[in-house]
């Protein structure tokens, strides 16, 4: 029979061995998935690089973006990458309340980032510069929007994990899942470095 017929328990030693192996394999698999996400973003960057000058008579990147605004966004996300690191250190030291506080801060910073980004998008749409205005706008909205979608998924994941820590405490499964979440969150900040650089800074750079 190829499914469970009885409810045996394993010895503690075998269980620990299995957990360590499982964690390592899962973390590696998730890292491999993040590498595929990297190529996904690379394709979006390539598309932006090729199409960003095709404004169809509309304003260019430099004319559209407020640099101080973007700097605040960037700092929010960067700080959240730091605070999620703090949260994970607390998790590994089994300090539940401290971890939760750091996660709440991370969540809020991420939400601020996302809110500012949505506000910027909304502003552009109201200026008549939505994603269908030109190839430049399409590639801008898609590249930045895909990153924002990933952030949204990360926030959702973070919310669920915070709930589970409150409910179950710092269990083995929760530690493994939080490790993956922190990898994801750091990865998203790394991608943002390049969006900030190539979309916003280079957009604003003088020719």
Partner 1 sequence: MSHNNNQHHATHGSYGSYVVGFILSIVLTLVAYVAIVNDWFTGMGALLFVTTLAVLQLFVQLLFFLHMGQERGPRWNFMTFVFAGIVVFIVVIGSIWIMYNLDYNMTHKMTPEQLDQSIIEDEGLGEQGTSDHHHEEQTEHHNH
Partner 2 sequence: MFSTLTTLFANAAAEVRFELLPPPYVIGIVGALAGLLVFAALLKFKGWSWITKTATYIWKEWLTSLDPKKIGVMYIIVAGLMGLRGVADALLLRTQQALTNTDIGNVMTSDQFQQVFTAHGTIMIFFMAMGLMFGIMNLVLPMQLGARDVAFPFMNSASFWLFTAGMILINLSLVFGEFAATGWLAYPPLSGIAYSPGVGVDYWIWTLQIAGIGSLLSGVNFFATIIKMRAPGMRLMKMPIFAWSSLCTTVLIMFAFPILTVTLALLSFDRLFGMHFFTSDFGGNPMMYVNLIWAWGHPEVYILVLPAFGIFSEIVPVFSRKRLFGYTSMVAALIAIMFLSFIVWLHHFFTMGAGANVNSFFGIMTMAIAIPTGVKVFNWLFTMYRGRIRFTAPMWWFLGFVLTFTLGGATGVMLAVPAIDFQVHNSLFLVAHFHNVIIGGVVFGFMAGLTYWFPKFAGFKLNETLGKIAASCWIVGFMVAFIPLYILGLMGATRRLDHYDPSLGWQWLFGVAGVGVLIIAAGIAMQLIQLVVSFIQRQKNIDLTGDPWDGRTLEWSTTSPPPHYNYAVTPTADHIDPFWYAKHDKKKAEAPKYVDILMPKNTGAGVFIGGFALVFGMAIVWKIWPLVFVGLFGAIVTIIIRATHDDPEYVITAKELQQMEAAHAKGGAA
Question: Hey, what are 183's tokens?
Answer: 């990898």
Cβ contacts of 118 within 8 Å, gap of 6 or more:
148
- Residue 157 touches partner 1, criterion: CB under 8 A: no
- Residue 32 touches partner 2, criterion: CB under 8 A: yes
d(CA 10, CA 77): 43
Residues in the chain: 207
d(CA 192, CA 199): 10
Closest to partner 2 by CB, 15 vs 75, is 15
Q: Using DSSP, state whether 206 is helix, strand or coil.
A: coil
- Residue 71 touches partner 1, criterion: CB under 8 A: yes
CB of 9 to partner 2, least distance (A): 7
- Residue 131 touches partner 2, criterion: CB under 8 A: yes
Closest to partner 2 by CB, 54 vs 66, is 54
Residue-by-residue DSSP string for 130-193: -TTS-HHHHHHHHHHHHHHHHHHHHHHHHHHHHHHHHHH-S-HHHHHHHHHHHHHHHHHHHHHH
Question: Hey, what are 69's tokens?
Answer: 């605004």
* Residue 114, contacted partner among partner 1, partner 2, none, CB below 5-8 A by kind: none
Q: Which stretch binds partner 2 (CB under 8 A): 32-40, 65-73, 74-82, 99-107?
A: 32-40
Closest to partner 1 by CB, 168 vs 197, is 197
* Residue 71, contacted partner among partner 1, partner 2, none, CB below 5-8 A by kind: partner 1
* Exposure b/e, 19-38, CB count within 10 A at least 16 = b: eeeebeeeeeebeeebeeee
Determine which residue in the list 72, 100, 116, 135 makes contact with partner 2, applying CB under 8 A.
Answer: 135
- The footprint of partner 1 (CB under 8 A) covers 17, 20-21, 23-25, 28, 31-32, 35-36, 38-39, 42-43, 45-47, 49-50, 67, 71, 74-75, 78-79, 81-82, 85-86, 88-89, 92, 183, 186-187, 189-190, 193-194, 196-198, 201-202, 204-207
């Amino acid at each position: 029979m190829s499914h469970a017929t009885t409810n045996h328990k394993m010895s503690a030693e075998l269980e620990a061995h299995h957990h360590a192996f499982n964690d390592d394999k899962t973390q590696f698999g998730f890292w491999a998935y993040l590498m595929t996400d990297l190529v996904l973003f690379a394709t979006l960057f390539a598309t932006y690089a090729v199409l960003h000058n095709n404004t169809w008579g509309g304003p260019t990147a430099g004319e559209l973006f407020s640099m101080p605004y973007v700097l605040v966004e960037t700092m929010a996300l960067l700080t959240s990458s730091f605070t999620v690191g703090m949260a994970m250190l607390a998790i590994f030291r089994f300090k539940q309340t401290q971890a939760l506080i750091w996660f709440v801060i991370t969540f809020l910073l991420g939400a601020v980032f996302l809110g500012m980004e949505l506000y910027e998008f909304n502003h552009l749409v109201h200026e008549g510069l939505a994603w269908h205005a030109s190839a430049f706008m399409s590639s801008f909205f898609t590249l930045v929007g895909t990153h924002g979608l990933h952030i949204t998924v990360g926030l959702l994941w973070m919310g669920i994990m915070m709930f589970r820590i409150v409910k179950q405490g710092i269990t083995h499964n929760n530690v493994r899942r939080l490790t993956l979440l922190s990898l994801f969150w750091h990865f998203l900040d790394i991608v943002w470095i390049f969006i900030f650089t190539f979309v916003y800074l280079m957009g604003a750079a003088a020719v």
